Amino acid sequence: MILHTEIYGEGEPVVFLHTGLQTGSTDFVKQREVLQKSRRVIVPDLRGHGKSVSDDISNYFENAADDLKETLDHLQVDELDLVGCSLGGLVGLRFAKKYPDRLRSLTLSGITSDKPDNWSEMHAQEVQFQRELLDNTEFTKQLDLQHESDWRQFIYMARDEDWYPFDVTCDLDSILVPILFMVGEGNQAEVSTAAKYQTMHKNVHVCVIPFASHLVHEDKPDMYTGVLGEFLGKFKIV
């Protein structure tokens, strides 16, 4: 499916893939504001989010990667710099493995390479947190306004302990372009992933940002944006 997409600025394309239950227009706001001064910033709503209406979330990461490819074809974007966090990072990594010739660079955050030993405990805590969110009327009303599809399907998807695509995140096979992996020091699984990824690929660069956790681009937006700009500039992408 062709994703609902907003575009800002002019120049070489950079695509931002939002986190779960966000949209292209509500996430990576700071980064978009900075980069759109010199770049064509493309921010799609992933399948089932915002105005990209779909109730089919089966085989989600595979289909979402294909959605992105179809959208880029529609926009006549052949090569791009891809940035994603959390759900968007998982989709971005799947896209990078499936369509590596479309990338100039890949920036990821908010993903974990291997299933932690305490995954069952972590998952149970997350499911309980999500149940509490569903009881928050103010929260649910906001998401009802933000998404034209039933966003609750993603909450239910994540209740399956095997929902996370560790088969995708476990390696960086076939991705030869420069990669930047940024993590917050507060998420130990992601810090360990950064160390693992750095040994896999000669072009992997890692940045551990203090006083931040899973959503590092929101926790420390100025620091994240500065490192991203330096990364893109180093490879003469900006």
Q: Convert the pLDDT of each residue in 84-102 to its tens digit.
A: 999 999 999 999 999 999 9
Average pLDDT over residues 45-56: 97
How much is the pLDDT for 217?
98
- What are the residue ranges spanned by the domains of the chain? 5-115+165-234
How much is the pLDDT for 237?
45
How much is the pLDDT for 201?
86
Tell whether the torsion through CA atoms of 59, 61, 62 and 67 is positive or negative: positive
Rounded to the nearest 10 degrees, what angle do helices 137-146 and 119-134 cross at?
A: 90
Where does 5-115+165-234 sit in CATH, by number? Answer: 3.40.50.1820
Q: How far is CA 48 from the centre of its chain?
A: 15
- Over its C-alpha atoms, the chain yields an Rg (Å, rounded) of 17
Amino acid at site 150:
D
Structure tokens at 109: 């955050």
Average pLDDT over residues 116-125: 94
How much is the pLDDT for 238?
42
pTM of the model: 0.96
pLDDT tens per residue across span 167-182: 999 999 999 999 999 9
